[in-house]
Structure 1
Amino acid sequence: MFLAWNELKKNKLRFVLIIGVLMLVAYLVFFLSGLANGLASLNREAVDKWDASAIVLTEESDKSLLQSTMSIDEMDAIQAGETAVIGQINAIAQTGDKKANVSIFGIEKDEFIMPDIIEGEEFSAANEVVAADALKEEGFGLGDKLTLSSTDETLTIVGFTAEARFNAAPVLYGDLATFRRIKFGDAAEANGDQINGIIVRSNSLSNLAGNEELEVIESETFIENLPGYTEQSLTLNFMIYFLFIISSVIVAIFLYVLTVQKISMFGVMKAQGIPSGYLARSVIAQTFILAAVGVIVGFILTLLSGAFLPSAIPVAFDILTMIIYGFVLIVVAILGAVFSVLTIVKIDPLKAIGG
């Protein structure tokens, strides 16, 4: 450690450049992890809000809530602790010059998926809805009349709820009658028993559905099958993993070049009786200091950047995940230093000093 620290102080500029590169890699890894978390939240907020064990859909729906259609009477055959019915349809909502893609949920007020209200009140009349607070951030407000792209019905926002987006679209919660008027129009009465799914809370999911045409899907599996969710997560995670590899290669190249430049010095030190193990530990210690400083600076810069990002950018930093990624970056940097260590071990003192 003594040798490593003294060399760092002597060649400040050289090692500051290495720290700068490691800091940029760490910053990118942390930011991508925040982006992955943020984008995941955009898709799953409303489902997480249910705090449910599973959802029952038709088997032919391919695990898609929108494509599932069943009778509300199916709920009678579901053997679960708590159940809640849901209808879902997508639409474009507009008021004045403000427009947004929305997901409309038809629910029963007295069931467990009814969201908590943070502003305004619960829906209590026809065509009243509780909106996700994401719409409030886009300029929508209490009392706004919403026209929809798929129907002549007009909705009124009477309340807001927090963190309620489904497949990246803000959710509007209304009663089932409102949902059916939007979906079926003049045929709403004829389809008065139609829903899309049944959400359940249960300690056991075996033999839950009494109808063979229905499928019980665990909440996490349902989320993973949302359009684009898995592909998006895999893409960002692969980028992070490749950055780990890039980080180790960068450190390996830098330290190898530095080691080659100091071969004669290491040769003299070995000729004086300093063991290869001591020199190797010095390089490892040096790498640890460089990587730790780079990761810490990158961590701080990421949090500072997050504080100034506009709400339109879906970034959500998870401190525990960032700490784990930071630790991994330090480990792969140390692994990258192994090449320099091998070079030091192979140094012949006589050849190195020109003997």
Structure 2
Amino acid sequence: MFLASKEILHNKARYLLVVVTFVLISYLVFFLTGLATGLARNNRTAIDALPGNYVLMSKYANKNLLSSVVTEDQYDQVASKDTALLGQMTIVAENPKTNKKLNSNIFGINLQGKLKPTVTSGRLPTKNSEVLADDSVTYYGLKRGDRITLNGSNQKYHIVGLTHDRRFATVPVFYTTLATFRQVKYGQSRVHNVSAVVSTRKMTDLPKHTEQITRATLINNIPGYTAQTSTFMLMIGAMIGITLLIIGIFMYILTIQKVAMYGVMRAQGIRTSAIIAALFWQILILAVVGVGIGIGLLALTEVGLPKTIPFYSDTMLLSMIAGALIVMSLVGGLFSLRRILHIDPLEAIGGE
């Protein structure tokens, strides 16, 4: 490590380019990871919060909650202390006073039952004309205390409280009663259909035309979710692979430039293993410094990003990716290994 650090400090300009490359690649990978994680979370946090791991839906819905309808006869057949009803509908919420509109979702639930969300501000609704909103609505001009309309109706709904991290299909969720959900979706609360039945246990003897899926399956079938996450993961994987190639090429070029120096070191009796160790210590130092600066730039970027951008820093995931970048950089150093092993001291010195 001593030899590696001394050479880096002696040739600052030469190794600065390698550090800058590490910084740019790591920053881009971390930023893409934050966007991918944020977008994935915005699709699913309301579903992640469901207490049960199983969901009963209509079979024709193709595992898509937006298309599912479960009738009263169907959910009565599986009703128990382990189940809870969930109604979902995509809506547009509007504040008539400010004309602020927001694409969002309604989740109709029993507000005193298993699906009751945690209130972070205000209170739970107690009337059909009240709603509890995800606090991300404040990013779009709505706030607690506002009275909103849903899908252009004349009925006004009072936002009496806020909850946190409850989004579905990338937009905020408004929690309300099942009666309000049915009124908005079907035009009358006497139609007792719901979208799904959430359960903490696996059901047997399912009602006709229904199927039970896991929460993970439900999330993977949110429209666009799998395509979005797969695309981002492919981009991140490609960037990590590019890191291997770029750093490998950089270090190979630097190795060629130092052949004469390595020849002198070999002639002085310095073992090949010491030279190889110095090479990999150099890569490790440069990678750690570059990745560290990349993380710092990411933190500064996150502070300045608008709240409406779906960005989320997962510490564990970023740590894994940082480790992968460093490991791939060390693997890239293997490109130079054969050149070092085959250095002939006399030839290297004479060639110079």
- Under TM normalisation by the shorter chain, which class is it? over 0.9
Structure 2: any 5+ residue segments left out of the alignment? none
- Contact 2:77/2:207 (<8 A) preserved: yes
Is 2:14 aligned against 1:14?
yes
Q: Name the SS for the 1:130 alignment partner.
A: strand
Q: CA offset at residue 335 of structure 1?
A: 0.6
Taking structure 2 as the reference length, what is the TM-score of the superposition?
Answer: 0.94
Alignment-derived partner of residue 317 in structure 1? 313
Q: CA offset at residue 348 of structure 1?
A: 2.0
Residue identity opposite 1:287 in structure 2: I
Q: CA offset at residue 80 of structure 1?
A: 6.2
Instruction: Provide the C-alpha distance between the structure 1 equivalents of 2:172 and 2:329, rounded to a whole number of angstroms.
Output: 42
Instruction: Provide the C-alpha distance between the structure 2 equivalents of 1:111 and 1:279, rounded to a whole number of angstroms.
Output: 67
Q: What's the CA shift string for 1:230-270, capped at 9, x where partnerless?
A: 11111111111111111111111111111111112212222
Q: CA offset at residue 157 of structure 1?
A: 1.6
Instruction: Provide the C-alpha distance between the structure 1 equivalents of 2:247 and 2:233, rounded to a whole number of angstroms.
Output: 21
Residue identity opposite 1:39 in structure 2: L
Alignment-derived partner of residue 46 in structure 1? 46
Instruction: Provide the C-alpha distance between the structure 2 equivalents of 1:143 and 1:278, rounded to a whole number of angstroms.
Output: 70
Q: Name the SS for the 1:50 alignment partner.
A: coil
CA RMSD of aligned residues (A): 1.8
Alignment-derived partner of residue 199 in structure 1? 198
Q: CA offset at residue 119 of structure 1?
A: 2.0
- Contact 2:65/2:222 (<8 A) preserved: no
Q: CA offset at residue 313 of structure 1?
A: 1.6
Instruction: Provide the C-alpha distance between the structure 1 equivalents of 2:269 and 2:118, rounded to a whole number of angstroms.
Output: 72
Alignment-derived partner of residue 91 in structure 2? 91
% identical aligned pairs? 38
Aligned residues: 349
Deviates more, 1:66-75 or 1:147-156: 147-156
Alignment-derived partner of residue 71 in structure 1? 71
Alignment-derived partner of residue 23 in structure 1? 23
Q: CA offset at residue 333 of structure 1?
A: 0.4
Q: Name the SS for the 1:66 alignment partner.
A: helix
Instruction: Provide the C-alpha distance between the structure 1 equivalents of 2:26 and 2:244, rounded to a whole number of angstroms.
Output: 12
Alignment-derived partner of residue 33 in structure 1? 33
- Contact 1:80/1:208 (<8 A) preserved: no
Instruction: Provide the C-alpha distance between the structure 2 equivalents of 1:129 and 1:153, rounded to a whole number of angstroms.
Output: 13
Q: 1:116-155 alignment to 2 at 5 Å?
A: 116-149=118-151, 151-155=153-157
Instruction: Provide the C-alpha distance between the structure 2 equivalents of 1:231 and 1:81, rounded to a whole number of angstroms.
Output: 36
Q: Name the SS for the 1:316 alignment partner.
A: coil
Alignment-derived partner of residue 231 in structure 2? 235
The verdict on how the C-alpha distance between 1:195 and 1:258 changes in structure 2, with shifts beyond 3 A counting, is same
Residue identity opposite 1:35 in structure 2: L
- Contact 1:80/1:201 (<8 A) preserved: no
Q: 1:1-355 alignment to 2 at 5 Å?
A: 1-78=1-78, 82-95=82-95, 96-149=98-151, 151-185=153-187, 188=188, 192-202=191-201, 205=202, 207-208=203-204, 210-354=206-350
